[in-house]
Amino acid sequence: MMPTLKISSDQNGKRLDVLLARAYPDYSRSFLQKWIKEGRVTRSGKELIANYRVRVGETIDVVDFSQTTSPLVGEVERSSGGGTIVRRIHPPSQPSPTRGEGVLVSPAVLYEDDSLLVLNKPAGLVVHPAPSHKGMTLVDWLEDYLGPKVTGLFSDASRLGVVHRLDKDTTGVLLVAKTVIAQHIISKQFQDRKVKKTYAAFIEGIPKAASGIISAPVGRSQNVPSRMAVSSQGRPSETTFEVVETFKEASQVSLHPKTGRTHQIRVHCAAIGHPIVGDRQYGAQNRWLKDYGIARPLLHAERLEVQHPVTRKKISFEALWPKDMKQALKFFRASSKALLLVLSLQVGAHAETVKHKTTQAAGPATGATEATSSTKSLKRQISSLKEQFKSLIEEVSALQDRVTGIQSSLDELGASGRLRDLEKAVSDLNGKAVNTANVTEETKTQVLDLSRKLKNQQEALDQLRDQVDHLQQQMIQTKAHEDATPPAASPSGGTEERGSGR
């Protein structure tokens, strides 16, 4: 049955679109104007326009919004959050692209009901059409998957029911609304920061703190317009993080963005000196592709929790890690285990030598005091060297982090390009440009100094290793000497020959 609106005296003279917006507050005004334009709002069978002024006593007929959404046939499941979820028993065939060029990388459907569609977005899939992107997008896929009865509900064909987005190379949970009212409710939850988002990522190096909050404004980069950056002109942004596991040269972290700025997580990780592994756009090292085959930023939208637009119950969705992140975790763990194995073998060898020496020293009475004293002395030296070794490793790691941070800063400022420009036009530079060049040179000098210091520390580390080997050789020689020395005669003459008495 078609809903009707009876115009009362206090509504007389109002615009039709304004009247509908008040009667249906869950729908946007642009959607209602589209509804009117398509002839779905009539008076006595005649189509109306959005700025039509209604009159008292008139009856306005409105096509029911829900008529365009048919229920899905599928297996009904109860989600962990209490909402009713409908999963398709037979997924539709792969859609044929309707726009753009190239091959469409299809997402996997995690959950679906009459109001929501939850996807696991693969890497390489752009969400919205853009002038800079000529290939297929998620919106192309949605047009074929949802069909015209659903896509026709939305006034913006370039967005449909997509209420948030992920970067092209970011994988994971992506939420799509299938009705206008669901889009409005979910979008409001994002605006009010009531949606809980959890991302998994690998970052370069090891943060000093096991958890923390990164609060820094994010805006468009003035040097590279295609990038974002921490800027005083940017919008307030906040990301919390927890370190899940550390490795030889990287860390696995769990990230929770409170705000949803473009590239926020990537910019914030780079800002604290730990860019996301594989994210060369924001300062990650180039060697990840060569050494590990990592061709994209290892960032994954792991979990999303919202309030269901119909049941109003909390419901969460989770996407399993993609293959490249699982493989990277294996590589990092294997690399860390190899390092720990080498260190444990070295320490274990020294400990066994000291233990063996102590046991030997507890045997014969003669020379026991000297052997015990020598063993204790060697043990103290080894313990001291181990402490120095540990301290040097920490210092080297800190220096490497500082070098990486300064190099990232130089990349952000485009220091190498600026230096070339300064060499070409040094005679035309004003005093301010000269000061900028000096600051850049000082930064470059700091990098060189840190690099030299790092080299010196590594040489010192090699020397300490040589000392440990030398001490081990001394212990071996001491043992050989003790074995070669005959035992002393006892007071009772147990080892001397007695006279014959003749």
Query: Tens of pLDDT along 141-183?
Result: 888 888 888 888 887 777 888 999 899 999 999 999 999 899 9
- How far apart CA 7 and CA 80 sit, in angstroms, is 45
pLDDT of residue 247: 92
Question: What sign does the dihedral 471-476-480-483 (CA atoms) show?
Answer: positive
* Residue appearing with tokens 């409005």: 184
pLDDT band at 26 (very low <50, low <70, confident <90, very high): low
**Alpha carbon distances (Å) from 62 to 3, 155, 156, 180, 205:** 5, 17, 21, 16, 60
Q: Please state whether the predicted TM-score (pTM) of the whole model is above 0.75.
A: no
Report the percentage of the chain scoring pLDDT > 90. Answer: 31
> Which residues are annotated as catalytic?
167
- Identify the bridge partners of residue 27 per DSSP, sorted by sequence position: none
Whether the per-residue pLDDT at 239 is higher than 90: the answer is: yes
> Is the separation of the CB atoms in 109 and 91 below 8 Å?
yes
Which whole number is the average pLDDT over 178-200?
93
> How many CB atoms lie under 10 A from the CB of residue 419?
15
Structure tokens at 360: 């030997």
Q: What residues contact residue 419 under an 8 Å CB cut-off, 6+ apart? A: 437, 440
Instruction: Assign a CATH topology to domain 75-321.
Output: Pseudouridine synthase (3.30.2350)
Pairing of strands 211-215, 238-246: antiparallel
Summarize pLDDT for 412-452 with one digit per residue, the tens.
Answer: 555 455 555 555 554 454 445 445 555 556 666 676 777 67
What is the average pLDDT score of the chain?
75
Instruction: Say which CATH architecture domain 4-63 belongs to.
Output: Roll (3.10)
Whether the per-residue pLDDT at 89 is higher than 90: the answer is: no
**Alpha carbon distances (Å) from 44 to 12, 41, 58:** 17, 10, 9
pLDDT of residue 200: 97
Which whole number is the average pLDDT over 339-352?
52
User: So where are the chain's domains?
Assistant: 4-63, 75-321, 330-483
pLDDT of residue 495: 43
Summarize pLDDT for 226-236 with one digit per residue, the tens.
Answer: 889 999 889 99
- How far apart CA 319 and CA 140 sit, in angstroms, is 22
pLDDT of residue 46: 86
Whether the per-residue pLDDT at 216 is higher than 90: the answer is: yes
Reported as type and span, the H/E element at residue 267 is helix 264-271
> Is the separation of the CB atoms in 15 and 51 below 8 Å?
yes
The type of residue at 167 is D
> How many CB atoms lie under 10 A from the CB of residue 261?
19
Which whole number is the average pLDDT over 249-271?
95
pLDDT of residue 352: 53
Reported as type and span, the H/E element at residue 421 is helix 415-424
pLDDT of residue 19: 86
Whether the per-residue pLDDT at 469 is higher than 90: the answer is: no
Report the percentage of the chain scoring pLDDT > 70. Answer: 63
Q: How far is C-alpha 88 from the chain's CA centre?
A: 31
Mapping DSSP to helix (H, G, I), strand (E, B) and coil, where does residue 177 land?
strand
> Is the separation of the CB atoms in 355 and 375 below 8 Å?
no
Which whole number is the average pLDDT over 10-34?
80
- How far apart CA 350 and CA 296 sit, in angstroms, is 43
Poorest-confidence range of 357-361, 370-374, 389-393, 465-469? Answer: 357-361
